[in-house]
Amino acid sequence: MKKKICGVHLVLEVKDCPFDILDNEKLIREALTQASKQSMSTLLNLTSHKFHPMGVTALALLAESHISIHTWPELGYAAIDIFTCGEHSDPHKACEFLVHFLKAKDYDLITIPRGNKVKKDNYFPNLEQEGCSACQARRN
């Protein structure tokens, strides 16, 4: 079987972002719309949900895959996934745009090639599962 890379998945952790941006559903929707354009992707659908008392989750469904964001305004933090496939999309441009738009003072980025060529031990050999206290609090 021929091994192939099917796409690129970026896992973006943005930190120290302003509360008023991360808690604004309209701004988060605009961010994903513009990020899809920046990555030269085709936006098919956009859905979002505003949590109370705070937080936003949004998903941009792309012809090339997706961009998703989950915000924790009280922590100044957002978790973002950008996955694109095909030759013409550039997920790194979406990443750069989102870091700027969300006014992140810090961020971490992991790039993961996707496809049958990828082996998990090459990327996360020592990864341990830990619960996020903010996630647990939101579920309760």
Q: Which tens digit of pLDDT belongs to each residue from 93-102?
A: 999 999 999 9
For 1, the token pair is: 């079987």
Bigger pLDDT: 8 vs 25: 25
For the domain with range 5-139, which CATH number is right: 3.40.50.720, 3.60.90.10, 2.120.10.30, 3.30.1330.60?
A: 3.60.90.10
Active site residue 85: yes
Return the pLDDT at 87: 83
Bigger pLDDT: 118 vs 23: 23
Which tens digit of pLDDT belongs to each residue from 59-85? 999 999 999 999 999 999 999 999 999
Say how far apart CA 15 and CA 13 lie, in whole Å: 7
For 40, the token pair is: 């030269």
For 97, the token pair is: 């745009």
CB 5 within 8 A of CB 113: yes
Say how far apart CA 124 and CA 63 lie, in whole Å: 28
Active site residue 70: yes
Q: Which of 65, 66, 89, 95 is catalytic?
A: 65
Q: Which of 9, 85, 89, 95 is catalytic?
A: 85
Active site residue 65: yes
Q: Which of 80, 81, 78, 49 is nearest to 65 (CA)?
A: 81
